[in-house]
A and B are shown apart, each in its own frame.
Chain A
Amino acid sequence: MRKKKVLFINNPILSLITSLLLVFSFYCRPKEIKILEPPSDRHQPYNFVGQKGMVVAAHHLAAKAGLEMLKIGGNAIDAAVTTAFALNASEPFASGIAGGGFMVIYVASEKRITVVDFREKAPQEIPKEIFNDEGKIEPNGLAVAVPSALAGWIYSLKKYGTKNLADVTQEAIKIAENGFNVSQTFSRINKDQYEKIITNAGEETCYLNKGFPYEPGDLFRNPELARTLKLIVSKGIDEFYKGELAKKIVKAVKEKGGVMSLKDLALYKPVEHPPLKGNYKDYTLFSIPPPSSGGVHIIQLLNIIENWPVKKWGPNSPAYIHHLCEALRFVFADRSRYLGDPNFTEVPIEKLISKKHAKQIVSQIKPDSTLDFYPFGKFEDKVEESGNTSHICVIDEQGNIVSLTHSINHFFGSGIVPENTGFLLNNIMYDFSSDLNSPNALRPYSRPLSSMSPLIMFKKDKPYLILGSPGGTRIFSSLTQIIINIIDFDMSIDEAIEAPRFFTYSSQGKPRSVSLESRFSEKTIEALKNLGHSVRIREAFDKYFGGAQGILILKDKKVILGGADSRRDGHGEGY
């Protein structure tokens, strides 16, 4: 040993080679990612950082649950389902087992993308006259569609995951049992929805704090949900669709004036189909086809925007906002004319997402004024105020990806909680059109039109962006703006998410006002008014525009960046 040491020191060539190797290895070492502490101002852009995997969701406990699943060897699908269950416990007002949604999955080993559609369906016996004179459904049992989230999550888990039901519910059960301190967001939404909750769930529900809304900092626990999840683990999901839980769901719906039957629940099955594909510049986007309008309209909007020099116009510029608003009004006109459940109506998807159709729209948009009429417009005034729903993004070490958007529709859904179960039933029936001639008309077992748009974007042949958002009919508008912020305005993921947003639509062929976050300048607002837009100023960071979650995959820099929207309680966890 000693001899060798002497030899090393006395051999200048060997010493030089060793030194060079040391210098080389120092420069080629895996780069340590400098992780900054989150800023005290939650609205200040902040990228969560990872190298192997990441989970971004609307609650920190749910994101942590998903990350733990990745760390113990679960894949992206295991982590996404774990996060979904954990969100049911930690953000119960936006999603849960009695809701529904859509999942885009990228299977890295097969380089294949697939869509799992678990949108709720109308009960078979639903009467057509459930709409009142104003075209609305009363907040009662008739608002509840056949719950489908649990079936969708477990279908995906069994087909693409590696873990079992007990593994993916463990953290959700802990959160429900131990509870957590309520955030400002939770408290505010709880107060806003008080009337519905107290009317449908009663004073004793865990969704109220001794009969009153939760204040920020109050402890929220849901032991009944924990018991329900344990029951599902021990008896399987048939307990929910055919067993005692199914009976409780039907009983709760009927007691509140609904018509759901045990047969409706027993017959529910999620479906899997290929994604919808579109291109924007050098990027390829994969999202979901109808019954969500989201995928169609994001592709449509990007096809339209491709014709304009948006980079030159710049973010927040009147020209950019004006042109995109006009595009949105045409898109909403198409939405009302064509979009619905493809099992019941023919949707001309290829036409709508074609570059030719986009060019036809572009040719009608005036750069210096709004139009008076948007052809085909018959969209009912069903643009809800609520920024409901929730989105999860996951990527694992093998490169598998999940982009999952799910919902119980409005915040706190229908407000109906089946006896001693702790979960909220959806009010997705609100998404049907009251117009019997609409492609989105209510029919037994049909799926109402959605705006959810979970997506995965590829740069050349590599996954680049995972993105999705809640926000009702604002979803595809907000996601388009985030994509443009990243691709054209060179923003990083969270900067793109936190940037000020706007939205408009057309109804009956007429333009509606432009909603803008109050961070837009007076100069911009005046310029928009001069172009003919009426404007409505909203909060600086308004959850009306959604609460997007995204992951940017920068493989060349060996880093994954997560962005989580401060309009809600978004959070990312990477490793």
Chain B
Amino acid sequence: MKKITLATLFLIVLFSPVILAQDGEESAPPPFEQPLLITSAGQNAEILMASVLAKRAGLDSKLSKIASPKDLENMKTVVLVLGASSKGLGAAGLDLAKEKERVNLLVEEAQKKNIPLLCLHLGGEARRGPLSDELISAFLPFAKMAIVVKSGNKDGFISGICEKYNIAIVEIEKTADVLTPLKEAFK
């Protein structure tokens, strides 16, 4: 019994720096603050899901499908939902070039104002392809964090960008699972 106690104490002492460090990391302030502006890069349907998630997480959010720099007024976070929808772009009267220009202006202004960017990719495998990938490559590098539905990152494309630009990434199984990391990001 004594031996076990001593061994346990030894292990605690041995790993205490690690435990403390981890604890320290967990208690670090979450990177994002409210209110948040939700918009998409690609006019996808998932922007509505992001809005429902924000509402369920109790976050103070504003949704704008065609957000411009003036929508950043009083905002403390930009949530950018990545993925192109031909149908959505058509309905908004935009093509990919115009959509890129819109998001670019928004992100540039957010950078100037030190408003952090949280990127979401919720459409899974179906929301990948040349158009979506072009938008992901263009805007994900500016993010502080990415929350991604796993099936959309089967080929490691999204995690590859995150690794390159040192962006924290959380992979989840289903859209509904975004709720927990989203809440934690804004605690």
A→B interface (CB under 8 Å): 188, 191-195, 198, 203, 209-213, 215, 385
Contact = CB atoms under 8 A, between A and B. Distances in A.
Interface in B84-115: 86-87, 90
A211 B52 contact: yes
Given A188-B126, A191-B123, A212 B174 contact: yes
A546 B45 CA distance: 22
11 contacts: A188-B126, A191-B126, A194-B45, A194-B46, A195-B45, A203-B52, A212-B49, A212-B175, A213-B175, A385-B86, A385-B90
Nearest to B151: A215
A203, A215, A385 pick with most chain B CB within 10 angstroms: A215
B48 interface: yes
Instruction: Classify chain B: how many residues form its interface, as a range.
Output: 10 to 19
Contacts of B46: 191, 194
A28 to B, nearest CB: 54
Nearest to B174: A215
Contacts of B18: none
Contacts of B174: 212, 215
Contacts, number: 35
B56 to A, nearest CB: 8
Contacts of A203: 52
B176 interface: yes
A530 B79 CA distance: 46
Contact of B49 (A188, A193, A194, A385): A194
A192 B45 contact: yes
Contact of A198 (B52, B87, B175, B176): B52
Contact of B176 (A188, A191, A192, A210): A210
B175 A192 contact: no
A212 B52 contact: yes
A192 B123 CA distance: 10
Contacts of A188: 126
Interface of B: 45-46, 48-49, 52, 56, 86-87, 90, 123-124, 126, 174-176
Nearest to B85: A192
Contacts of A191: 45-46, 123, 126
Contacts of B87: 192, 385
Contacts of A213: 49, 175
Nearest to A195: B48
A542 to B, nearest CB: 12
Contacts of B56: 211
Which 3 residue pairs across A and B have the least CB separation, nearest first?
A212-B175, A194-B45, A212-B176
A392 to B, nearest CB: 27
Contacts of A198: 48, 52
A195 B45 CA distance: 7
A194 B48 contact: yes
Nearest to B87: A385
A385 B89 CA distance: 13
Nearest to B47: A195
A209 B175 CA distance: 10
A227 B10 CA distance: 65
Contacts of A209: 176
A193, A194, A212 pick with most chain B CB within 10 angstroms: A212
A209 to B, nearest CB: 7
A354 to B, nearest CB: 38
Nearest to B86: A385
Given A209-B176, A212-B174, A385-B87, 5 more contacts: A198-B52, A212-B176, A215-B124, A215-B175, A385-B86
B131 to A, nearest CB: 13
B37 to A, nearest CB: 19
A188, A191, A210 pick with most chain B CB within 10 angstroms: A191
Nearest to A193: B45
Contacts of A212: 49, 52, 174-176
Contacts of B124: 215
Contacts of B49: 194, 212-213
A192 B87 CA distance: 9
A350 to B, nearest CB: 39
Nearest to B126: A188
Nearest to B52: A211
A423 to B, nearest CB: 23
